[in-house]
Amino acid sequence: MLFYYTPSDIVFIEIKVAAIMKKFLIFVLVIVALCTTDIELIKQPREQLIKDLISMLSKSTKVQRPSAASLARADIDAQLTLSEEQAEHLNEELADDTAMRNFFKQYCLEREMSLYFFTDKLENICDIVESAMRKTGAL
């Protein structure tokens, strides 16, 4: 069965579209009038609403990513058992991403001897730190 529109159907559809467009135009004019008026009753809530919207949008666009150092520290805690001295030293070395990069460069890339970590444990820490830096793009 073929569907076809009669002239009366087309006129009815055009009337519905015109009514919708008329309502939309009135809505736009009301919004423009409210945004441009200097009446104090409207001006103050409007400015407060704009400030709230801007702050909400700026908060929502900030991406909350964990730092590479905190990610590495959590992985190390989960995978390795450390003595109290080792844990304190690692907290200092992984305090932030810059300190972690320096630790990685010194002990993992340049292979300098560490007073706190030896062979396998140091290699595991280096692997975890490198993985965390790759995940967060800090490497």
pLDDT tens digits, the chain, 139 residues: what are they? 566 667 777 777 888 888 899 999 999 999 888 888 888 888 888 889 888 888 887 776 655 556 888 889 889 989 988 889 998 998 888 888 888 999 999 999 998 988 888 888 899 999 999 999 888 876 6
Domain boundaries, the chain: 7-61, 68-134
For the chain, the residue count is: 139
For the whole model, what pTM was predicted?
Answer: 0.53
Cα 88 to Cα 82: distance, rounded to the nearest angstrom: 9
